[in-house]
Structure formats: structure tokens, C-alpha cells
Chains A and B, each alone.
Chain A
Amino acid sequence: MNEEKINLNLTESPEGTTGTGYEDANRISWLTENLLKDPLKVISGFGRLPMARLLLNIILINIVCLVGYGVIVGSFSGGIQWYMAPVKIIAGLMLAVLFCYPSFYIFSCLSGIDVKPGTAMLVLLAAVSVFSILIVGFAPIAWVFSQSTNTVFFIGFFHLLFWGTSTLFGMRVLLKAASSLKCKNTFYPLFWILIFMITSLQMMTALRPIVGTAETVLPKEKMFFMAHWSKLFSETVDTPKR
């Protein structure tokens, strides 16, 4: 793991990309591998790599991984859910990132990190990419459960488990980046992670059904995610059926 303090000054490219381990940085495979293996190497490369290409690759990784996982989620119900589930998962995550980004930047500054808004967005997207890569890794397990589970509550529970695990690893990248960027108070990043998790869960509830089916594409009733899960649990206990 790269334990060095990282420099995120995006205006300077002092060392270029040659001879520093960034020769293949334009390749998606390099980015994917390093996001998992050594995310700080990717983050510290923000100042040295071509920004537009890096951003495009990050977005591509996210879209491909989330579409892959979304299709597996949609396979539980079939029909329009084959394409609605991936669309909703991408939209939900994107909205959660947009809603939480201002607080992410402000919390980063409050914790003592000297970071520019654009760089903060890239760090956040890198963490989200780790989440997306990991969650698509869970796709085969999710598919097996989709084919052998009959109730929305249970398959939803498994997706939640995969979602939570992937989020924790994604957010771990943020904590690593924060500590490398001389974060003086870890309370702020930790508190922000809690905000992000609640917001992303709420977004998935707002865009339901992602698992299962309904009369309408978007819900008629607005609900807090805890209330939704509690209702789903009660329905499962009363009448367990697909």
C-alpha cells in the first residue's frame, strides 16, 4: 500500500507519467486493478494523469459495473426490471453522490484537508468506483440467490448485505485518502460516511421497486427507508410469496 503523503495539486504535473508507475494509467484495466490494489496510487496520480481521460475511465468503470449488477438485480423479477433495475441503481447512486458532494467537500475542509472542489469530487468518484467494482464481484452470488429465493424481502436483504459490504470497502478508500491528506480529525469523514450511507439507502427506496415489481415505475407513496423495510418485513411475515 502506498503510505506516502500524497500531493493533490491538480495544476501541476511535475513528474509526468513516465517512469513513475503510471505508464499504463490510460488503460481501464490499470485503473480497475489499482483502485482495488492501491487506491492511493490512483488518487496521488490525479495531478499527473490526463484528467478528462481519467474521469471518463472512472465513469465507464462505474457504469459497466453497475449495469452488470443491475441486470442481476433485475433478473429476480424479469420484464421491465431487466433494464429498469440497472437504470435506477445508476440514477440512485449518482443522485446520492450529487446530494452528498457539497457536504463531502466542506467536511474535508473542516477536517483540516487542503483540497480543491474538483479534486474532492475525483476522490469521491474513486471511492464510488471501488464500491462499483466490488459490488459487481458479488453479482454471481446475487444471481444464485435471485434464482433460488421467492420473497422480495429476503433477496432485498442479500442485496443490502452486498451493498453494505461494498460501501464499507469504498468508504475505506476515503478514510485512507483522508489520512494521507493530513486529516486532523477523522470524526468528519466518518460522520460523512454515515450521511452518505443513509442518503444512498434512501435514494434506492425513493426509486423503488428495484427488486420486485409494482404497478408504477416510481413509487406512489413517499417513505423513509426504515419504514419501507419494516413494511416489507411485515408483509413477508404475513404472506410470504414472490
Chain B
Amino acid sequence: MKLPVRKLCRGIPEELAGLMRKPGNGFLFSCLAIAVICSSLYGMSVGIWRSPLQSVYVAMKFPMLILFVTAGNAMINGMFAKILGARMTFRESLMSVLMSFTIASIILASFAPLMLCLVWNSPAVSDPNSAMAHQGILLFNVFSIAFAGVVSNLHLYKLVLHFTGTAEVSRRIIFSWLAVNLLLGSQLSWIMRPFIGGPGGAVEFLREKAFDGNFFEAVFQSAKNLFF
């Protein structure tokens, strides 16, 4: 199986649409394989600062997060595409979102060596300055994910535009997909924490009370503590 990494990154809409319309599930499985391998590599580099075991955990959690968000939102994304006027089948909308996550994973994987470089140059967990190192890794992680997210969604926009032919409709669809992906993605990442693992925290796959609270509640509480 030849993995279409170059084609996905170049993001030529006609080429990607052609791959999506090919009979069989070859392209779907290729995207899944790339997304799993690449997000795993990035996850590994993120967790290695805390401990090798944390690295293994995050290498497992990152692909799970991507697959859960894609699968969990497949139905609503397909509905939004139809209701907003795109002539896309459910399969096409699912493939488009998966492709966007796959591109993001490829970009993240290309940042994995840089993350390793950062970890190598950061004080270890046992060091008195480890809190600063944790903040640095967190910041780089946020930047990497934001960058990968923006670029992959720009690619997704071009692809949706190819299907709809109208910029306005494409923008609406992308916005609705982004909104639901953000909604589910933020909560799933909250449940699946820790990713980097703070210096004082335990090395664990999931927190003991993983389902306790939600992402937006935590943001609200933080804002309340800060301002009131």
C-alpha cells in the first residue's frame, strides 16, 4: 500500500477528490494508517519529557483522540454538509474530515523531531526548573497543534470548495465542522488527559476521575478565579 503523504500535503482539490472517488476503501485505509502512525509519533515526542511510559501512553492516546472525534462527528458533519447545500455524500464528508485530520497528523509528525530537540534542551522532570520546562513544552504543543489545525483546515476548505463550487457555502460548512469538532475534541482531550504530564503529576493513561467535570467548566472556573 503506497501512502499518499505527498498528495495530501500538496492538497490539490481535484487530485484529492479523485482519490476519494476511487472505488474501494484503499484511500480510506491509507488515511487511517497515516493518521495513526503520524499522530502516534507526535504523541510519543510529547510524552517523553515526563517519562518513557507516559510517551507510550500519549502515543496511544493521540490517534485515539483523532479517530474518536472523526467517528463521533461523522453523522453530524455529513448532515451539516447536506443541510448547508453541499452535494457531498456522507462518505465524502467523512473522508474530507478524516483527510484534514490526516494532514494535521502529518504536520505534527514533522514537528516531532523538533519537540524531541526541545525536550533534550529542557530541564528534566527532576530539575528544580522543571515547571518552566513544562510550560515551554506546553507552549510548543499548543503552537504545533494550532498551526497544524489551521493548515489542515485551509486544505479542507479548498476541498469543500471543489465540491460545493461556492465560497459562501464552503465557509459555512467548514465553520460548522470546526465548531462540532472543537466541541467534541476539547472534551475528549479533557477526558483523555494527561498528555504532557506535569512534573508533580502521576504517570497514568487516564486520570482517576477522568469523567469528572468538563473542559468548558474548567475554563469557566479558571476565569472566575482570575477575575472574581
Contact = CB atoms under 8 A, between A and B. Distances in A.
A26 B107 CA distance: 36
Q: Is the interface of B mostly helix, strand, loop or mixed?
A: helix
B10 A98 contact: no
A99 B107 contact: no
Contact of A110 (B112, B117, B121, B151): B151
Given A110-B9, A112-B10, A114-B10, A199 B117 contact: yes
A223 B123 CA distance: 8
Most buried by A among B113, B123, B136, B151: B113
A99 B122 contact: no
Given A222-B122, A222-B123, A106 B117 contact: no
Nearest to A109: B9
Contacts of B5: 109
Contacts, number: 57
B148 to A, nearest CB: 10
A166 B49 CA distance: 33
Contacts of A98: 113
A195 B114 contact: yes
Interface string A87-115: 00000000100111111011101101111
B137 interface: no
A42 interface: no
Nearest to B136: A224
Contacts of A116: 6
Contact of B114 (A100, A105, A112, A223): A100
B110 interface: yes
B120 interface: yes
Interface in B97-150: 106-107, 109-114, 116-117, 120-123, 127, 136
A206 B106 contact: no
B111 A103 contact: yes
A57 interface: no
B11 interface: yes
A113 B7 CA distance: 10
Interface of B: 5-6, 9-12, 106-107, 109-114, 116-117, 120-123, 127, 136, 151
26 contacts: A95-B117, A99-B114, A99-B117, A100-B113, A100-B114, A102-B109, A102-B110, A103-B110, A103-B114, A106-B110, A109-B6, A110-B11, A110-B107, A112-B11, A113-B10, A114-B6, A114-B10, A116-B6, A202-B121, A203-B117, A205-B121, A206-B120, A222-B122, A222-B127, A224-B121, A224-B136
